[in-house]
Structure 1
Amino acid sequence: MRFNDVIMAVVVIVIILLIIIPVPLGWLDFFLALNISLALMILVISMFVRETLEFSVFPSILLITTMFRLALNISTTRYILSEGQAGEVIDTFGSFVIGGNAIVGFIIFMIIVIIQFLVITKGSERVSEVAARFTLDAMPGKQMAIDADLNSGLINENEAKERRKKIQRESDFYGSMDGASKFVKGDAIAGIIITLINIVAGFLIGAFTMNLTLVESISKFTLLTVGDGLVSQIPALMISVATGIIVTRAASESNLGTDVIGQLFAQSRVLFIVGGVLILLAIITPLPNIPFFLIGSLIIFMGTRVMTKDKKEAAAEVEHEPKAERPEEDIRRPENIVPLLQVDPIELEFGYGIIPLADPNQGGDLYDRLVMIRRQIALELGIVVPIIRLRDNIQLDSNEYLIKIKGNDVAGGNIVFDHYIAMSPGSVEGEIQGIDTIEPAFGLPAKWIKADLREKAELLGYTVVDPSSVISTHLTEVIKKNAHDLLSREDVKQLIDNVRENNAALLDELMPSLMGYGDIQKVLVNLLREGVSVRNLVTILETLADFAKSTRDVNILTEYVRQRLSRQLSKMYFPFGKAQVVTLEQSLENMLMEAIDQNETGTFLSLDPMTSQKIIASLSNEIRKLMQMGEQPIVVTAPIVRLYFKRLSEQSIPDLIVLSYNEIESSIDVQSAGMVSI
């Protein structure tokens, strides 16, 4: 345990013991002085904090100081009623502060209690309730604003995390203050009750057990009780004021004193008017002349100082303003072109008609969908998608959108605003009227239908999607297809740093002696290019550490990784445990093995164009048969030729899935529905 934790535990235990165990008078004086000191410190701290979260422990301190004050009240009551004394601190407050006059002291005490209970405490309690309610109500809006700033690139992930944490801490703080303000209210009520009990009980004890006269008993115990009440209520008043300052403190860049002085005496015109009125009252009314004249003159003097300061600041602003340049000079003036060199990884541009979908103030939810896209890609592919930039482009049609990857156009589409897109899953019970179109993400035939036909279309069996979903789905598919192009070395470093926290030994073995960030990036890019998730990064890095000692060819290392991920690949491509696939004829596999050549840049397949065309033609024929059977086209080859056959086929059939026998689990029932031959 840390030293601070031990101290706080001991302090709380000592406060509880003060309620039970009698305290020597010398120690009681020390604790009373400590109570006043703590209250003064809390009051001053509350005035110097810039925002409430700088003093977030205040609700707990409020509880501890209230317990401490009530424990001291019990100890002083014990001494007052049993011995007729309560130490030098209370005697001083009873004799010096209130002048030995019990009636005056009691009135002062009651005024303090009324001010604290009815004015400060009630106001602080109400402000705490309102602040807690408004803070909790505003949390969803603040969270959406953070997500919007994150997606638009104004803040990064760490800043968003800090802002979310701050919002959570604010809600917790104001919720705690709402309850903690009740401590102050209860303390004021307890102070009144304890004072009345001490006066009545002290009068009876003094009259019947201490042989004091009626006047002596009333005077003695009233002075002690009022002194005790002042000793406890003055710190309570300071803490109540601190509570009011904390809960009414608005967010600012400076402390309370700076804000009050800076804002109260900021306008010279106001100071001149107030000073002139005070001097006029001193001259034409029977009010005391000197006080009003002095205060009025002082305020006018401050007004002149403020006006002089404002003139100097205005002159300085004019001096620092850039001089107006002639048009020809503005053209010739060099500009900073460095920001123009920045290329955003992902951009979504749209026409002015789609702006409402991206504007939260108009009910648009496109920003929220971008957050979900990044989370979905992280779960499916195991990479962190860069910030997606949203931009309106007046050169596009009003309902057109364009998706760019690293500044290049890769996809686009059109939507019909206030319509829904209806797609047939294959069998529907009837036709529906609409505008014929092609669904942009998967290229399926669809129709744009009006909003009032949505329920009818769903009843007929159509899949109905709103425009925001159309754009977000299209964007998701584009990101998946281009994930390999989005993964940079910096992204790889971030992923590896995340793994390092729990697998330091693995990375010490692999990096930098066997592989660098660039080599690992190439392996991950190879996997992502074929749609293989790299979320199981620990297994990937362990495989690289095992085989990087024997080969530095990243393509061969990728094949080893794919074989190690056989369970993942089997679940991905054979979810039902069986499938019909296309295989290669043994003679074709042998020919491909013999055609593998190697140079200084790596290995490649050396085939003449005529042979390549025959292989592609046979492959296309077999795939056509497989698709007619309703099966997903998958080709299974020997491990050594899988990579090269994939490269051979991807020019003509880019989305073809090519697996090796070692990448399929033994529990999968794979049947050959065709064979590629030449």
Structure 2
Amino acid sequence: MKILGFDTSKLPSPSAQGAIPILVLLVLIMMLVPLPAIILDVLFTFNIALSIIVLFTAINIKSFKDFVAFPTVLLLTTLLRLSLNVASTRIVLMDGYKGTDAAGKVIEAFGVFLIGGNFAVGIVIFIVITIINFVVITKGSGRVAEVSARFALDSMPGKQMAIDADLNAGLIQQEEAKSRRADVAQEADFFGSMDGASKFVRGDAMAGIMILVINLIGGVMIGVLQHGMDFGKALSTFASLTIGDGLVAQIPALVISTAAGILVTRVATEDDFSGQVSKQFEANSNALGVVAGVLGILGILPGMPHVIFLGFAALFGGLAYLTHQRIKREAAAAKVALAQPVVNEELEWKDVPIVEPLCLELAYRLIPLVDKGDESDLIKRIKAIRRKFVTQVGFLIPSVHIRDNLQLSAETYRILLYGAEIGRGQCLPDRLLAIQQSGTDKIPGIEVKDPTFGMPAVWIERTMRDEAIAKGYTVVEPAVVITTHLDHLIHQHAAELLGRQETQDLLDHFKMSYPKLVEDVIPKIVTVAQLQRILQLLLEENVPIKDLRTILEISSEYAGKLNDPLEILPHIRYALRRTIVQDVLGDGNNYQVLGIQPEFERLIEQSIGAGAIAPDG
């Protein structure tokens, strides 16, 4: 359980589960039971602290997903402020005639010290804060939440389709797919809740104005009519109490509204809000230099406060210089890292390159896709397709060697099999690939063909993701484009990837479960070379070799009679008929079939057991 973004799972379970209901109950009791001034001081201080906690939680999180409880927190804090307003109104009207400290030290401090005892200034400040909160922050946050909720709902079907596509391609596991679906639903729920929660703050601001008027008019009337105070004394006393009560409630409300605005306008990244701002400001030293120049010009104009303007000009000028120097150092370090020093050494056998079975070459613009090592999205997806291949086909393919190739054009990648190119494509790392479906409207972007299946697609800006999904496009990341192409080519060339070493490794692994079968068959009846050829023939027909037990048993049964693996293959294929049909049907029970003429059907039946049908048949 999380309260205001903090994990309370380490607390005892009954206390953690009962804290919020008890807090809500106490808030409701505050509206009914008179509270002494000291309790009001404690509660007002707690309200201020709570608003600051919420604000800094919103600043420090990386995404709204880390604070999805915020709409409910907003409701509870609003209810807490209103209950405090009710409690303070009661004590102001009942005991206000005793002096400005009748409602507690906190209200007195806000009503006397902060505004200097001038209630006219206090009223103006209260109205200004209320307008800022009501008209500017709350209205803007509500509009952002409304638009975000609409886009989240419109894009939900497309996002669900993209998740299903990744799951079917084996790029993610079932658990991750469930988590992503929950995130999609959570996003729509969050912004929908924020759209409604903004009305709480708006209503709170209106209630604050009404409470101010009621306290002021009612307090003056009670002081004059019931306690015999003169009008001036009553107006001064109750105005100070009323302004203090209003400010001590509206300032935390302004802080909470600011937190709501920060939360709904955040763009989810790996950095918190402070990290985002500092990185993006520091990335451009020119802006700091321009600011320094403008302030310097203003500082030398007659009548301007020269010291302040010139001081800030020097500050921003220094920051611009330091930022520029840091960027130059980083660029120089990157060049040094890319430079390959030539060492005058004798060649050895270790200098002879070994051709990798599978290799992915990336142009220099695509290197950032793997610059985080094992944490890079591209590498994670390559590992996922290897796991999927093992599950579907039945043997472990070699690792994919990834390297840069500066000879390729800027945004090109290519896939090599034993050093020979089997596929290439273009990938724009700063964009998304939107794959067209039938009947979809056109969207602006770079029109291309999907490198895997040749479908029409468009490279779009990342800001257009939701719009493209809403129009029915399937939107994928650049890493998904590369790994989908790689996965397709791996399945096409699976037979070539099953070498002698892979066959022996497969047998060694299988022998741990069926030692007797392997000892009796390999190599007494079937040699490793024959088994490798049989497995390659099956892979060429896209038949999985997961059921190695059946393959070995059928091979041992017919190997003594038939020497050619092509002649043994039909018997193995027949033994694997359920696996073959299941792979074709998938999760369904029906499949489209093609009817043939009876003459051709008889020809096929007569050819069962033979290696092939005669060409002239």
After superposition, the Cα gap between the structure-2 partners of 1:249 and 1:530, relative to the gap in structure 1 and judged at 3 Å, is closer
State which of 234, 238, 253 in structure 1 corresponds to 2:270.
253
Q: How do 1:633-652 and structure 2 match up within 5 A? A: 651=609
Q: Indicate yes or no: 2:121 matched with 1:61.
A: no
Rounded to whole Å, the distance in 2 between the matches of 1:388 and 1:287 is 63
Q: How do 1:496-515 and structure 2 match up within 5 A? A: none
TM-score of the pair, normalised by structure 1 = 0.54
CA shift, 1:141, in A, is: 2.5
8 Å Cα contact 1:199/1:225 also seen in 2: yes
CA shift, 1:275, in A, is: 0.8
Corresponding residue of 2:306: 289
CA shift, 1:487, in A, is: 6.0
State which of 219, 226, 234 in structure 2 corresponds to 1:217.
234
TM-score of the pair, normalised by structure 2 = 0.59
Structure 1 SS opposite 2:31: helix
Corresponding residue of 1:97: 114
Q: What is the one-letter code of the residue matched to 1:407?
A: A
Corresponding residue of 2:525: none
CA shift, 1:188, in A, is: 0.8
Rounded to whole Å, the distance in 2 between the matches of 1:322 and 1:151 is 42
CA shift, 1:278, in A, is: 1.3
Q: How do 1:616-631 and structure 2 match up within 5 A? A: none
State which of 81, 89, 96 in structure 2 corresponds to 1:77.
89
8 Å Cα contact 1:483/1:528 also seen in 2: no
CA shift, 1:340, in A, is: 5.8
Structure 2 SS opposite 1:254: coil
After superposition, the Cα gap between the structure-2 partners of 1:360 and 1:137, relative to the gap in structure 1 and judged at 3 Å, is farther
State which of 53, 78, 83 in structure 2 corresponds to 1:41.
53
Q: How do 1:130-145 and structure 2 match up within 5 A? A: 130-145=147-162
Corresponding residue of 1:407: 495
Q: How do 1:203-352 and structure 2 match up within 5 A? A: 203-323=220-340, 334=353, 337=356, 339=358, 344=389
Q: How do 1:147-546 and structure 2 match up within 5 A? A: 147-323=164-340, 334=353, 337=356, 339=358, 344=389, 358=455, 404=492, 406-407=494-495, 485-486=545-546, 528-529=578-579
CA shift, 1:526, in A, is: 7.1
8 Å Cα contact 1:344/1:389 also seen in 2: no
Rounded to whole Å, the distance in 1 between the matches of 2:60 and 2:230 is 52
8 Å Cα contact 1:344/1:407 also seen in 2: no
Query: Comparing both chains, which one has the higher relative contact order based on Cα–Cα distances under 8 Å and sequence gaps of 6 or more?
Result: 2
Rounded to whole Å, the distance in 2 between the matches of 1:32 and 1:77 is 13
Rounded to whole Å, the distance in 1 between the matches of 2:308 and 2:19 is 52
Please list the CA deviations of residues 340-370 of structure 1 after superposition, one character each: whole Å capped at 9, or x if unmatched. Answer: 69794679x9998996675565999xx99xx
Superposed CA RMSD: 4.3
Q: Any stretches of 5+ residues in structure 2 without a counterpart?
A: 1-12, 97-101, 361-385, 394-421, 425-448, 460-467, 475-482, 498-537, 550-574, 591-597, 613-617
CA shift, 1:212, in A, is: 0.8
Corresponding residue of 2:24: 12
CA shift, 1:338, in A, is: 5.7
Rounded to whole Å, the distance in 2 between the matches of 1:124 and 1:390 is 44
After superposition, the Cα gap between the structure-2 partners of 1:290 and 1:390, relative to the gap in structure 1 and judged at 3 Å, is closer
Structure 1, 4-13 or 66-75: larger mean CA deviation: 4-13
After superposition, the Cα gap between the structure-2 partners of 1:87 and 1:171, relative to the gap in structure 1 and judged at 3 Å, is same
Corresponding residue of 1:587: none
Q: What is the one-letter code of the residue matched to 1:206?
A: G
8 Å Cα contact 1:151/1:388 also seen in 2: no
After superposition, the Cα gap between the structure-2 partners of 1:175 and 1:353, relative to the gap in structure 1 and judged at 3 Å, is closer
Q: Indicate yes or no: 2:135 matched with 1:129.
A: no
Rounded to whole Å, the distance in 1 between the matches of 2:217 and 2:279 is 51
Rounded to whole Å, the distance in 1 between the matches of 2:547 and 2:72 is 48
Structure 1 SS opposite 2:35: coil
Q: What is the one-letter code of the residue matched to 1:4?
A: A
Please list the CA deviations of residues 580-603 of structure 1 after superposition, one character each: whole Å capped at 9, or x if unmatched. Answer: xxxxxxxxxxxxxxxxxxxxxxxx
How high is the sequence identity, in percent, across the aligned residues? 38
8 Å Cα contact 1:102/1:223 also seen in 2: yes
Corresponding residue of 1:660: none
8 Å Cα contact 2:452/2:485 also seen in 1: no
Rounded to whole Å, the distance in 2 between the matches of 1:487 and 1:233 is 71
Structure 1 SS opposite 2:147: helix
After superposition, the Cα gap between the structure-2 partners of 1:336 and 1:159, relative to the gap in structure 1 and judged at 3 Å, is farther
After superposition, the Cα gap between the structure-2 partners of 1:406 and 1:261, relative to the gap in structure 1 and judged at 3 Å, is closer
8 Å Cα contact 1:32/1:231 also seen in 2: yes
Rounded to whole Å, the distance in 2 between the matches of 1:186 and 1:296 is 43
Q: What is the one-letter code of the residue matched to 1:53?
A: K
Q: What is the one-letter code of the residue matched to 2:356?
A: I
After superposition, the Cα gap between the structure-2 partners of 1:529 and 1:482, relative to the gap in structure 1 and judged at 3 Å, is farther
CA shift, 1:408, in A, is: 7.6
Structure 1 SS opposite 2:228: coil
Structure 2 SS opposite 1:20: coil
CA shift, 1:23, in A, is: 1.8
CA shift, 1:65, in A, is: 0.7
Q: Indicate yes or no: 2:195 matched with 1:107.
A: no
Rounded to whole Å, the distance in 1 between the matches of 2:357 and 2:81 is 64
CA shift, 1:35, in A, is: 0.5
Q: What is the one-letter code of the residue matched to 1:44?
A: F
8 Å Cα contact 2:450/2:456 also seen in 1: no
Rounded to whole Å, the distance in 1 between the matches of 2:548 and 2:29 is 63
Q: How many residues of Structure 1 are paired with residues of Structure 2 in the alignment?
A: 414
CA shift, 1:251, in A, is: 1.2
CA shift, 1:79, in A, is: 0.5
Structure 2 SS opposite 1:253: coil
Please list the CA deviations of residues 233-282 of structure 1 after superposition, one character each: whole Å capped at 9, or x if unmatched. Answer: 01001001001000111112111112222222432222222212211221
Structure 1, 156-165 or 24-33: larger mean CA deviation: 156-165
Q: Indicate yes or no: 2:35 matched with 1:23.
A: yes
Rounded to whole Å, the distance in 1 between the matches of 2:196 and 2:547 is 50
CA shift, 1:46, in A, is: 0.8
State which of 134, 137, 157 in structure 2 corresponds to 1:120.
137
Rounded to whole Å, the distance in 2 between the matches of 1:334 and 1:361 is 39
After superposition, the Cα gap between the structure-2 partners of 1:157 and 1:285, relative to the gap in structure 1 and judged at 3 Å, is farther
| Bigger-Rg structure (1/2) | 1
Corresponding residue of 1:455: none
Please list the CA deviations of residues 546-565 of structure 1 after superposition, one character each: whole Å capped at 9, or x if unmatched. Answer: xxxxxxxxxxxxxxxxxxxx
Corresponding residue of 1:576: none
Rounded to whole Å, the distance in 1 between the matches of 2:292 and 2:450 is 58
CA shift, 1:531, in A, is: 6.0
Rounded to whole Å, the distance in 1 between the matches of 2:111 and 2:314 is 41
Q: What is the one-letter code of the residue matched to 1:290?
A: V
After superposition, the Cα gap between the structure-2 partners of 1:266 and 1:354, relative to the gap in structure 1 and judged at 3 Å, is closer
8 Å Cα contact 1:50/1:252 also seen in 2: yes
Structure 2 SS opposite 1:219: helix
Rounded to whole Å, the distance in 2 between the matches of 1:58 and 1:532 is 48
